[in-house]
A and B are shown apart, each in its own frame.
Chain A
Amino acid sequence: MQQPEPKRHVLARRDAIVAGLRGILPESGVIAEALRMKPYETDGLPAYRQMPLAVALPETTEQVAAVLKFLHREGVRVIPRGAGTSLSGGALPLEDAVVVGMMRMNRILEIDYADRCATVQAGVTNIGITNAVQAEGFFYAPDPSSQLACMIGGNVGMNSGGAHCLRYGVTANNLLGLRVVTIEGEIIDIGGHHLDAAGYDWLGLLTGSEGQLVMVTEVIVRILRGPEGARAMLAAFKSNEIAGQCVDSIISSGIIPVALEFMDRPAIHACEAFAHAGYPLDAEALLIIEVEGSVAEQDFLLGRIKEICSQFDPISLKVAESAEQSLAIWKGRKGAFGAVGRISPDYLCMDGTIPTGQLPLVLRRIGEMSDACGLKVANIFHAGDGNLHPLIMFDANDPASFATAEKFGADILRLCVEVGGCLTGEHGVGVEKRDLMPVQFSPDDLAQQRRIKDAFDPGWLLNPSKVFPLQAPHTLAIAA
């Protein structure tokens, strides 16, 4: 993968830059020894690695502002980092860049149940918010698979989704306010404790901007009261086509399940081997369908869904009888990535979205590509919203295998765009899909996005080499 040329004058001034950071942060907050920087050379996409110039770990918004102001003055590139769980290489460093990690800003500042919101620092984990409010029956809705570890600042950066976003929306739909720091080191509050600020929708623009525009230090999230209960069911089918038609029928019936997950045969087998959730191994496609409400309401909805599924000649239908059985059903799905990690040394997790009606075609084509390139793939699909996660299995110790996997992944994403979808539904473009952006966007589309980047960060110092293809005039200009 091509990366921009490092800035020679920055590399040459490394010692002075480190000294400057040490003047701002406590001793343990600046890491500059090669060995100790090593774990920061990659994130959740370890196929890509690059040692940074230094690592800074601020503890307050003011420190973030001072660090950015200093780095801006020095012309140093900045790589924002949360928990480092990005699957698109969103936190991949550059040789001449300082990683600014938000892990030390992990405090919950305010919880307001009456107004149903919480103010937290960017380094609080996604599940940490729910953990803090669940005693009162509340939760923070977006639930990416990495929710245990991923941090809310990173969620904002990537506009993370999750299995339940069909009902509850993604990160952008669950925010009220942000405290951000510009590359010039200015602290700005966006939004607040209220809905729909007047003026441009900065909250909407900054969410999912992948660290291109500002650094997020505090987040005001909406918290929701949880339902009385939730229960899942499994429906297994003889083909992807039939399962797809069943999903269409459920949605058309007016039921929006809180989650509607689809697994193909390889995914079923991998998850079952790991979780022993009772997934039927003779099925080609499996749906996990979850509904919420009182027990009677769950029974009503699951009854209707069962009726619909029955019209599609299911191999098996299994409704959880208890919360424990629901958990068991979910355990396989939630552990899917790890489960694939157990059957293959490495995997690439793709993240395209397709119009849901195109699922059978797309899965057939992916199967053909898999046969052609010789790499196995398991498909996990958020069936309600069209977000497809093919997990391509490869061997990182074999360079040819990785190259094939990369190309396979790119071909899948091209296919997603071709059928009317997009490159990424929730993982972000990062460095991984950067060079595919012209597949989805015209030169004018991309130029407009670049001009927005320019407006916030004219020197292109914030998380450079991500999102936008390198051949862009701007990135070429700064590389010079």
Chain B
Amino acid sequence: MKLFKAPYVVQKEILDNMQTSDLFWLSFVSKKIKNVIKSSQATRFKSIRSIVYDYVDQDQRIIYIPSESGRDVIMVTFVIYKGKENHFLLNKYDKKIDFKCLSCDCPSIMSFNFCNKESVYKSIHYNFLDFFGDCVEYQWIINRYTSFFPQVKKLSLVLDFWRYEDNKAAKQELENVLSSSPLMTHIKLSYLGSAETLSPESKFYKAGSVEIRQGNHIFPANLRHFQGRQALLRCNICETLHLIELINRWKYGQAFQKLEYLKIIIDSHNVPENQVLNSIGIKYIDATKKPPAHTLPKLYFDFRLKPNTDPIISHSYVVRKTDNRVASVSIHRNELSFGVWDKTEEEFLSIVE
């Protein structure tokens, strides 16, 4: 069966029916097939939001493309410390990296010597950049135990930090990881103790998005100085005054200049809707009209969750004093959602149906 004997339309139809991970491996067969893939699959590649280098353990990573239907695994890599290797060559320009192909049935499982870790991941990354382009966000996940990441361009860091014991030590460990790394695209933080607050200068506050899960009330300690765009806070207890303070600080331009989306979920009690809304000078869209839905692509797309923020459809909104920008506010039982529009009040009201 000669693939190139088929007309282009057939070649495209075959490639359209392949998974993206299989196309990546096919691209190593020849330059010609690689060019055919890149030209025929340009639309598909444009729709890839991110490629994630996720960790399994200290020595093993799983690299995949997240999607709403799950994840398309491109390869699983792991470090070996001894043993003879069979070689598969991954080319990056004139540089060749040797991998051990563990199974002929599954070429995407690879291992390499510990000493080559940096250069191997560099090679993989540059192959991705060459094949998928630099509009894709490449996200490398680190945690407490695996803080290694390769020094390459176009690589965003995601921190998955959890700790259940000893608050002071946890805080220090978190600060250590953050201070030794570039700014994070996303931080997922679980169970940092309520008594501990981070330094206002902490890189934690500079992350693009944060997701905090915590037993006791910490607010506003872990959000007070947040400078990023998206935040999700889930805690057990939260004082109403703190919620009001947060929104008012945004409203008066004192903080959260880049904030686009905030969701707070309180597990132990409902948010007192009237008290909060009355204290932030809420405004309302005409009750007979349909409010627009506020939703955004998440900065970090976890394939187990939805790719976009939950839509906020609310008649309630606040206006920022400094630039007249609008934020939709929704309070429902134990959840407060806050979505900032890229619109002034006048522009916002003009899109209300």
Q: Do A and B bind each other?
A: no
A contacts, CB < 8 Å to B? none
Interface residues of B (CB under 8 A from A): none
